[in-house]
């Protein structure tokens, strides 16, 4: 959280670049190279690092390609070449405590991530091994960006939707080390405002701008904290695949700059 606050201020940016490699969308000159997943993502990272508050690799995009080794090397590269930029491993983990303890080792010791996304559905004991790592961030799914988010997350419990209970529990009970944040989708401005009202200045990871169509102005207006921060606004496809040619990294940089500036005009 300290590193995140420093980046908000040093980079003057709330942008999180998501790393979701899809080789079919890579530029042609890279597609056939042996280490294409690493080379593509490294070029994106190096072209955008000064413009972001954090990076967010999505683990399934690497695992599906048998590219976990590339993910390890990319996170190591971020720490070595761009020190101080937090890396969120988007893995949405959630399981019984003994298995969760291994997910903790995977995220923080194997991959070297600074934070990980977790699913709260199994309850406090499933998240506790993550919470116990006081030096690491735990980002809990609250109101996700996808169209079916409300199927379960909106179910009424004691007269209020379930996601509001998640927000309250995380802010009041699970955050004793000050290392928690919430995932709230940019596609749900009303819910962003409600959750911000419940949790004070707790940071939000906000996916859903760019390819999913979330409105930047509405989202920032509803979700920012009093000092105009509090957000890691994540965009993956709209940045990664902004260009298809040899200049793809420059195109990604231009898309990141444009998102950063659009956000900053609303803060």
Ligand X SMILES: O=c1ccn([C@@H]2O[C@H](COP(=O)(O)O)[C@@H](O)[C@H]2O)c(=O)[nH]1
Q: By CB under 6 A, is residue 258 in contact with ligand X?
A: no
Q: Which two tokens stand for residue 68?
A: 């976990």
Establish how many alpha carbons lie within 13 A of residue 40's alpha carbon, considering only the half-sphere containing its beta carbon. Answer: 33
Structural contact between residues 218 and 189, judged by C-beta atoms closer than 8 angstroms: yes
Among 185, 189, 203, 230, binds ligand X (CB under 6 A): 185
Window of 174-182, 188-196, 233-241, 253-261 that interacts with ligand X by CB under 6 A = 233-241
Active site residue 92: yes
Nearer to ligand X, 151 or 158 (CB): 151
Among 13, 41, 144, 164, binds ligand X (CB under 6 A): 144
Q: By CB under 6 A, is residue 210 in contact with ligand X?
A: yes
Structural contact between residues 266 and 220, judged by C-beta atoms closer than 8 angstroms: yes
Nearer to ligand X, 132 or 217 (CB): 217
Q: By CB under 6 A, is residue 41 in contact with ligand X?
A: no
Q: Of 6, 25, 56, 92, which is the active-site residue?
A: 92
Nearest residue to ligand X, by Cβ distance, number only: 144
Q: By CB under 6 A, is residue 234 in contact with ligand X?
A: yes
Which of 46, 32, 138, 24 shows the shortest CA–CA distance to 88? Answer: 138
Enumerate the H helices of the chain as residue ranges: 2-10, 28-31, 36-48, 59-63, 68-81, 97-104, 124-131, 150-153, 162-169, 189-199, 216-223, 237-240, 248-264
Which residues bind to ligand X, rule: CB under 6 A?
A: 18, 20, 58, 90, 144-146, 183, 185, 207-208, 210-212, 234-237
Q: Which residues are catalytic?
A: 92
């Amino acid at each position: 959280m300290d590193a995140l606050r420093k980046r908000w201020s040093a980079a003057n940016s709330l942008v999180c670049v998501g790393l979701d490699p899809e080789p079919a969308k890579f530029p042609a000159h890279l597609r056939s190279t042996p280490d294409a997943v690493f080379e593509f993502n490294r070029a994106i990272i190096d072209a955008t690092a000064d413009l972001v508050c954090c990076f967010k690799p999505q683990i399934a995009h690497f695992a599906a390609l048998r590219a976990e080794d590339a993910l390890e090397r990319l996170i190591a590269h971020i720490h070595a070449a761009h020190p101080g930029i937090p890396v969120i491993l988007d893995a949405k983990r959630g399981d019984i405590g003994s298995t969760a303890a291994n997910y903790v080792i995977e995220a923080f010791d194997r991959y070297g991530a600074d934070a990980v996304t977790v699913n709260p559905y199994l309850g406090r004991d499933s998240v506790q091994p993550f919470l116990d790592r006081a030096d690491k961030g735990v980002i809990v799914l609250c109101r996700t960006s996808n169209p079916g988010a409300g199927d379960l997350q909106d179910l009424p419990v004691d007269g209020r939707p379930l996601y509001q209970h998640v927000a309250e529990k995380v802010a009041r009970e699970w955050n004793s080390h000050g290392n928690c944040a919430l995932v709230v989708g940019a596609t749900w401005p009303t819910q962003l405002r409600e959750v911000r009202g419940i949790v004070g200045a707790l940071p939000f990871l906000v996916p859903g701008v760019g390819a999913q169509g979330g409105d930047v102005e509405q989202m920032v207006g509803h979700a920012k904290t009093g000092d105009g921060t509090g957000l890691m606004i994540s965009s993956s496809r709209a940045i990664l695949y902004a260009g298809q040619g040899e200049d793809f990294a420059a195109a990604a940089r231009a898309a990141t700059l444009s998102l950063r500036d659009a956000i900053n005009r609303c803060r």
